Structures are given as structure tokens and as C-alpha cells.
Amino acid sequence: MALLEIRPNCENCGKALPNGSDHAMICSFECTFCDQCVHEILHNVCPNCGGGFVPRPVRPSALLEKYPPGTVPHIAPVDMTKFAKLLEKNRNIPPNER
Ligand SMILES: [Zn+2]
Ligand SMILES: [Zn+2]
């Protein structure tokens, strides 16, 4: 069984996104951003893969000991100059048509 890592931070702004956070969003590769960055900066385009985002599922508390959430911060603020092309190409196309 492949597990989500449940990464602890927004990759762009560093905001804490612990398991259970209402603000965590992921793409199909589990690139992880806060909802504010996804809506206001990324416009639902993942800067790494071009895909869209969905809210990250919550791992049930009874399983956290056996399957602990990730603890290693993965923070790589988006280079808006590099991202501009990918954003323009995808922002007006629904994720299931990209
Ligand atoms: Zn963020
Ligand atoms: Zn991605």
C-alpha cells in the first residue's frame, strides 16, 4: 500500500499543514500547498507538474502511531518567472482536460 506522506508544510509559504488541517491541498504527486497559495497564487495549477489540486484527506487518529505523518519540511517557494508559462498554459483549462 502506497501511503501519502502527509507533508507538514505548504511548499510555497511554509505554513504549517499538520494532518487534519482544513487548509492542506495536494496534487496527484502529493505536491502540498495551503489553500490560500493554491487559490491566490497558483490558480489551481501545480508549479511542479501542471495538475490541479484537491483537499488532502485526513489520516484517522487511530492509525497515526502506525503510519505517522511526514515531519520533514519540504519548502521550495515558487519562482513566479519560471511558473508564468505553465500557469498561462493551464489556468483556464479544467484539470481533467490538461
Ligand atoms: Zn502557502
Ligand atoms: Zn504536482
Question: Which domains, and CATH codes, for the chain?
Answer: 7-58+74-98 (3.30.40)
Q: Which ligand is nearest to the CA of 74?
A: 1
Q: How many CB atoms lie within 10 A of CB 15?
A: 18
Ligand whose nearest atom lies closest to the CA of 21: 1
Residue 1, pLDDT above cutoff 90: no
Determine the straight-line distance between the first and last CA of the chain, rounded to whole angstroms: 28
Q: Which ligand is nearest to the CA of 75?
A: 1
Instruction: Evaluate if pTM is beyond 0.85.
Output: yes
CA of 42 to the centre of ligand 1 (A): 10
Residue 7, classified by CB atoms within 10 Å of its CB into exposed (0-12), middle (13-18) or buried (19+), is: buried
In the reported structure, the alpha carbon of residue 45 is separated from the centroid of ligand 2 by a whole-number distance in angstroms of 8
- How far is the centre of ligand 2, averaged over its atoms, from the C-alpha of 67 (Å)? 23
Give me ligand 2 centre to Cα 16, in Å: 19
pLDDT tens, residue by residue, 39-83: 999 999 999 999 999 999 999 999 999 999 999 999 999 999 999
